[in-house]
């Protein structure tokens, strides 16, 4: 007998929810997106275009959608960071299970409050830690589980945000001002900490961290640079961060912040740059997010780990050392060897390579993780114990604790005892 498709509703129809909706629409036997809420009518129109004509009920806000009762099995929440907890708790109280964008919340106390409420109500919440569903990290995990490098001793991870991406998202963009969103180590790196937590497969016990915002500030502004690139900057022609690049080789970024911007004519983009945050000089913004941070972690099973987040490299890299060998994976090894993963055995020094295939075109978002998450969602929903979902709330609370504790350690110095921190939260 065919299984009934899972029905999905959405709150916040930005780029994330539309990506999941696009993939859900490719799997109509398994998912139906039936309702969507967003105060921006143009975004609701974009959602309508993704699903069969006439099949989507639309609402001007989460509150209006909630007022209509429970409309679907799962509510996808893709509002901005500071507005995750409130709609998630309201949805759970209405009876929804939830697919919640990361971060769970902008501070750990709210993460804990949400977890307690989910437990009290018996709701299933999955967090969009999409990297757990990528072919790359899934392969790394299974190689480690197969004993390819013996017992893991150390994990070193690098998250190279990339200079223009840093400027777009964490200087000019949504996550530049930590006080209005979440700390960099959560906003960008909750994924990386979550992967470290998954690979270490143990409870983190202590965290320390260093980092700062040392480059994207007024001290590094070229002489005479005005507040906006569009105000006649004398160094625009040689500036890597010149906003006019949105008219050329960096135009693809517009798809996430300027609806229709990729297809718009140049004059419309110029006009947008004159007033939007993305037209500002990167050295003259109100940003507070760090452009470098390192986090040290130790786990109950004695694995030690380090994560370096930097604006000044591109892509994620992993080095995992074990009692039987070394696994190198990601961007750095790819640049040097052309392969995604290299495993070198201590025993004979031999190296074997593994390459990851991601389907071209539609499926590459976040290394295949966006599609991977949607492709796994209905299977995950069948697991009897919701905590066993690969990206369950329970597992994500653990990696969020690591991240928020790292931020506390960065700001206050010293080492945070995670056992004590979790209880405090």
Ligand X SMILES: NC(=O)c1ccc[n+]([C@@H]2O[C@H](COP(=O)([O-])OP(=O)(O)OC[C@H]3O[C@@H](n4cnc5c(N)ncnc54)[C@H](O)[C@@H]3O)[C@@H](O)[C@H]2O)c1
Question: Where does this chain bind ligand X (CB under 6 A)?
Answer: 11-16, 37-40, 43, 61-62, 78-81, 83, 101-102, 128, 130, 256, 366
Nearest-approach distance from CB 51 to ligand X, in angstroms: 17
Kindly report the number of other CB atoms within 10 A of residue 284's CB atom: 16
Least spacing, CB of residue 396 vs ligand X, in Å: 11
Tokens of 140: 């790394």
Min CB(239)–ligand X separation in Å: 26
Least distance (Å) from ligand X to the CB of residue 168?
11
Report the residue number, 79 or 310, with the smaller CB distance to ligand X. Answer: 79
Most distant CA pair in the chain, distance: 71
Q: Is 102 or 280 the residue whose CB approaches ligand X more closely?
A: 102
**Helices 15-25 and 369-382, axial angle in degrees (round to 10):** 70
Q: In what order do the strands lie in the sheet containing 97-100?
A: 57-59, 31-37, 6-11, 74-77, 97-100, 125-127
Q: How far is the CB of 181 from ligand X (least distance, A)?
A: 7
Q: Identify which of residues 37 and 148 has a Cβ nearer to ligand X in the complex.
A: 37
Cβ atoms within 10 Å, residue 261 = 19
Query: Residue 344 CB, nearest distance to ligand X (Å)?
Result: 31
CB of 79 or CB of 298, closer to ligand X: 79
Task: Determine phi and psi for 310, rounding to 5 degrees.
Answer: -140, 140
Complex with ligand X: residue 136 or 299, whichever CB lies closer: 136
Could you tell me the smallest distance in angstroms from the CB atom of residue 213 to ligand X? 19
Pairing type for strands 152-161 and 314-322 reads antiparallel
Nearest distance from C-beta of residue 380 to ligand X, angstroms:
15
Shortest approach of ligand X to residue 153 CB, angstroms?
29
CB of 141 to ligand X, least distance (A): 18
Instruction: State which residue, 242 or 407, has the beta carbon closest to ligand X.
Output: 407
Characterize 385-394 residue by residue with b for buried, 16 or more Cβ atoms within 10 angstroms of its Cβ, and e for exposed: ebeebbbbbb
Nearer to ligand X, 79 or 230 (CB): 79
- Residues 6 or more apart in contact with residue 258 via CB below 8 angstroms: 264, 269, 272, 276, 278
Across the chain, how many H-helices and E-strands are there? 15, 15
Task: Please choose, from the candidates 331, 319, 285, the residue with its C-alpha nearest in 3D space to the C-alpha of residue 166.
Answer: 285
The residue (of 58 and 317) whose beta carbon lies closer to ligand X is 58
The residues with which 298 forms a beta bridge, in sequence order, are 206, 304
With CB atoms as reference, the residue minimizing the distance to ligand X is 14
Q: Which residue number, 126 or 243, has a Cβ lying nearer to ligand X?
A: 126
What tokens appear for 76 in the block?
């996808």
**Which structure tokens are listed for 195?**
């992967």
Q: How distant, in Å, are the alpha carbons of 136, 209, 318, 362 from that of 156?
A: 16, 14, 6, 31
**What residues contact 168, with CB distance under 8 A and at least 6 apart?**
250, 253, 278
Give me Rg for the CA atoms of the chain. 22
CB-nearer residue toward ligand X: 36 or 303: 36
Strand ranges inside 263-302, DSSP E: 292-299
């Amino acid at each position: 007998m065919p299984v009934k498709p899972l029905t999905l509703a959405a709150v916040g129809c930005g780029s994330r929810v539309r990506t999941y909706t696009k993939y859900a629409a490719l799997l109509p036997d398994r998912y139906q997106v039936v309702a969507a809420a967003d105060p921006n009518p143009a975004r609701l129109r974009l959602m309508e275009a993704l699903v069969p004509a006439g099949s989507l009920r639309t609402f001007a806000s989460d509150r209006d959608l909630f007022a209509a009762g429970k409309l679907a099995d799962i509510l996808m929440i893709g509002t901005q960071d500071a507005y995750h907890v409130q709609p998630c708790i309201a949805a759970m109280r209405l009876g929804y299970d939830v697919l919640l964008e990361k971060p769970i919340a902008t501070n750990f106390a709210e993460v804990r409050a949400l977890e307690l409420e989910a437990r009290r109500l018996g709701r299933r919440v999955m967090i969009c830690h999409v990297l757990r569903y990528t072919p790359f990290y899934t392969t790394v995990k299974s190689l480690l589980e197969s004993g390819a490098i013996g017992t893991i001793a150390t994990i070193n991870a690098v998250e190279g945000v990339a200079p223009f991406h840093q400027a777009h998202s964490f200087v000019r963009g949504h996550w530049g001002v930590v006080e209005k969103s979440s700390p960099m180590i959560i906003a960008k790196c909750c994924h990386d900490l979550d992967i470290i937590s998954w690979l270490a497969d143990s409870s983190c016990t202590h965290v320390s961290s260093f980092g700062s915002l040392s480059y994207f500030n007024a001290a590094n502004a070229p002489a005479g640079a005005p507040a906006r690139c569009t105000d006649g900057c004398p160094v625009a022609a040689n500036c890597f961060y010149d906003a006019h690049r949105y008219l050329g080789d960096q135009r693809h970024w517009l798809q996430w912040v300027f609806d229709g911007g990729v297809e718009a004519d140049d004059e419309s983009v110029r006009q947008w740059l004159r007033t939007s945050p993305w037209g500002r000089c990167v050295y003259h913004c109100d940003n507070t997010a760090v452009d470098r941070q390192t986090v040290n972690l130790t786990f109950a099973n004695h694995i030690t780990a380090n994560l370096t987040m930097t604006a000044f490299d591109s892509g994620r890299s992993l080095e995992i050392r074990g009692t039987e060998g070394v696994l190198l994976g990601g961007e750095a090894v790819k640049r040097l060897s052309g392969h995604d993963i290299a495993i070198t055995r201590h025993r004979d020094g031999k190296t074997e390579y593994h390459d990851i295939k991601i389907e071209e075109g539609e499926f590459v978002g976040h290394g295949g993780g966006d599609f991977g998450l949607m492709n796994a969602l209905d299977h995950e929903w069948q697991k009897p114990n919701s905590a066993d979902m690969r990206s369950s709330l329970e597992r994500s609370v653990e990696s969020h604790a690591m991240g928020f504790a790292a931020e506390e350690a960065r700001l206050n110095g010293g080492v945070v005892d995670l056992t004590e921190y979790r209880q405090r939260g």
